[in-house]
Amino acid sequence: MDTSDTTKPCNRGWPLVLLPLPLQGHINPMLQLANILHSKGFSITILHTRFNAPNPTNYPHLSFLSIPGVVVDGNISVSSIVGILNFIEYLNDKCFNPIKEYVFVTSVADELKLPRIVHRTSSVSSFLLFAAFPVIRDMGYFRRYSDEAFFVLSQSYEHFFAEMKSEALVKGFEPLKIKDLPKFLTSDPEGPFHKYFHASSSSLLAQDQTSISWLDKHPHNSVLYVSFGSLASIEEPEFLEIAWGLANSKQPFLWVVRPGSIKGSEWLETLPDGFLERNVERRGYIVKWAPQQEVLAHPSTGGFWTHNGWNSTLESICEGVPMICSPSFGDQFPNARYVSDLWKIGTVLENGFERGEIEGAVKRVMVDKEGTEMRNRVMNLKGKVDKP
């Protein structure tokens, strides 16, 4: 057992072991949950891989235990839906034996009769969609996706639902229906988690705090914040379309360009000569990573161009910020449709990254009457979230 980086705070309460997937969108909510559970009196141990390991010094009240021998293959790509699911399968395979030593894998938990809970970081509505994949495919709605992508994704959810089904029924009890749920809640729901816990200390990337001082210089609701999360990558032509769309909109913008997120480039070198001087220095600010919760909560932030990961979508709603939606994979697509079509607090870029459509979307959200109406609706949602 490798305990070289284990922290050992004072033990108190019932022990719980938490194992996040080593990706930013999973580590953040898991650490937020850990803090909430710790505040309720539980003793928390975080199991983690060496890949994307959280910094234990930021959480002196939690214990951390590294799983030895887990090395991520440099050839595994997480830039596509197939790559991400293959990456998860890779981790499941490579981590089984090390995790088994620490008694936290499904089969081991069952063998030792340890209760286990799955912490899902996606939106609940996405389950309905993914469960209906075979029907949706047969209706012809997956024409844009390769057979490989559909097979990998549908297989992953078939396995998930098959496992869940084995525990869905308890002998002697009728199946629980959604309408019955309020009867079984013993206390009010808690969340969103990020409202209880500041996420900057759980960031896997160095956050550029100058983005906040830059926002301080701008008027209320005037800046568009642009960030596509910690995983998504784009092609060079798409990057240039984004750059020109932002420049042509004539609106102030804070743009997160994660190093390595542009295929074939390190950072900004693909921008045309003079582009930064002519188009960015006067209106925009580009950083490698930003403290997102602080940015969204800043009074100068008036819009959020996002990939619609559930964490980002929730954070935007909680701060009353309307969205421009560019989903990439998974539950980001239904999340974006809820934002644009159901809640009407944002707009979707229907044709990918095209400078004219980008310019129009930015103006619609930041300048036009439609954007004001979106802002009013998202503020109403924020009010519901803030209600005690």
Place of tokens 């004219």: 356
Tens digits of residue pLDDT in 347-357: 999 999 999 99
| DSSP state letters, 345-365 | SEEE-TTSS-HHHHHHHHHHH
State pLDDT tens for residues 301-347: 999 999 999 989 999 999 999 999 999 877 899 999 999 999 999 99
Q: What is the pLDDT of residue 257?
A: 94
Check the CA dihedral 275-280-283-284 and report its sign: positive
Q: What percent of the chain has pLDDT over 90?
A: 36
pLDDT beyond 90 at 361: yes
For 176-235, how does the pLDDT look when each residue is reduced to its tens digit (9 = 90+)? Answer: 555 555 554 556 666 677 676 665 566 667 888 999 999 999 999 999 999 998 877 889
More confident site: 123 or 240: 240
User: How are the residues of the chain apportioned to helix, strand and coil, as percentages rounded to the nearest 5?
Assistant: 45, 10, 45
pLDDT at site 29 = 84
pLDDT tens track for 81-90: 555 556 556 6
**Range from 21-35, 128-142, 146-160, 184-198 carrying the lowest mean pLDDT:** 146-160
- Report how far apart, in Å, the C-alpha atoms of 119 and of each of 103, 122, 203 are: 18, 9, 19
Q: In the chain, what are the domain boundaries? A: 1-120+171-197, 122-166, 206-386
CA dist 378 and 71 (Å) reads 43
Q: For 65-79, 132-146, 255-269, which range has the lowest pLDDT when averaged over its residues?
A: 65-79
Q: What is the CB-side half-sphere exposure of residue 355 using CA atoms within 13 A? A: 12
pLDDT the model gives residue 305: 98
Q: Do residues 295 and 287 touch, judged by C-beta distance below 8 A?
A: no
Q: What is the mean pLDDT of residues 238-244?
A: 95
Q: What is the pLDDT of residue 75?
A: 40
**Minimum mean pLDDT range among 138-152, 206-220, 284-298:** 138-152
State residue 312's pLDDT score.
Answer: 93
Residue 301, Cβ neighbours under 10 Å: how many?
A: 23
Of 39-43, 165-169, 182-186, 363-367, where does the model show the most confidence? Answer: 363-367
Q: What is the pLDDT of residue 36?
A: 85
Amino acid 369: pLDDT = 97
pLDDT of residue 86: 60
**pLDDT(68) > 70:** no
DSSP-based three-state secondary structure for 174: coil
* Whole-number pLDDT of residue 91: 57
pLDDT over 70 (residue 108): no
pLDDT at 130: 73
pLDDT above 80 for 117: no
Percent of the chain with pLDDT over 70: 70
**CA gyration radius for the chain?**
22
Average pLDDT, the chain: 79
Report how far Cα 149 is from the mean position of its chain's Cα atoms.
20
Whether the per-residue pLDDT at 372 is higher than 50: the answer is: yes
Give the chain's count of helices (H) and strands (E): 15, 9
The CATH number corresponding to 206-386 among 3.40.50.1980, 3.40.50.10800, 3.40.50.970, 3.40.50.2000 equals: 3.40.50.2000
